[in-house]
Amino acid sequence: MKKYFVCSDIHGRLQVLKTALSKQKGLDGVIIAGDLELETYEITDMIYKMFPEGCMVYMVAGNCDRYTPSASMLTTEDTVRISENHTLLLTHGHRYHVPRTDLLSYAALQAGADVVVFGHTHCRCREEEDGILFLNPGAIRNGQYMVLTVDDTENIRAEFY
């Protein structure tokens, strides 16, 4: 089984992120969909200290990250292989006019992804359309996040917290 902590829209609230992460055990990765408003090393250092057994960190830049030097160097989208049969497209979403999913669908198809994680709206979302699962964990600055698991039979479960 694979287990991922998924969040977006930190907006500088590192302690809120740390509190949410402290409730998790056995993570394979942390997936962050932009609007960090923190230096990337502040986030990665904290995660690596909290999960010394190893935990991958995936993050993209959001529309508010252009003012933070290290965050401004992140790409605005990335693909993450979350299991043998599932690929996730990670983006903040501001370039795709979210919460609409039509442009995200094209981006997912182009990336070969069947799961899309996005942020920007600060509103939780779980929709499935044309075989693509669209997920928005909400805003971690408000304490909202998601745990995404892929079981041994490749079934995906997304739980909102």
DSSP-assigned letters across all residues of 127-160: EEETTEEEEEE--GGGT--EEEEE-TT--EEEEE
Give the length of the chain.
161
pLDDT of residue 100: 83
The chain-wide mean pLDDT, for the chain, equals: 96
Q: 3-class SS at 66? A: helix
Q: What is the structure's pLDDT at 101?
A: 85
For a pLDDT cut of 90, what percent of the chain falls above it? Answer: 96
pLDDT at 157 over 90: yes
Residue 96: count of CB within 10 angstroms of its CB: 21
From residue 107, alpha-carbon distances to 8, 35, 40, 141, 145 in Å are 19, 20, 25, 27, 23
Structural domain count of the chain: 1
What CATH number should be reported for the domain holding residue 9?
3.60.21.10
Span 100-129, average pLDDT: 95
So what's the pLDDT on residue 28?
97
Q: Say which amino acid occupies 72.
A: S
Torsion of CA 90, 76, 112, 127, to 10 degrees: 40
CA distances from 14 to 88, 110, 115, 157 (A): 25, 33, 26, 26
Boundaries of domain holding 15: 2-160
The helix or strand, by DSSP H or E, that contains position 41, with its residue range, turns out to be helix 40-50
- pTM for the model stands at 0.96
Q: Are 60 and 36 in contact (CB under 8 A)?
A: no
pLDDT of 128 > 90? The answer is yes
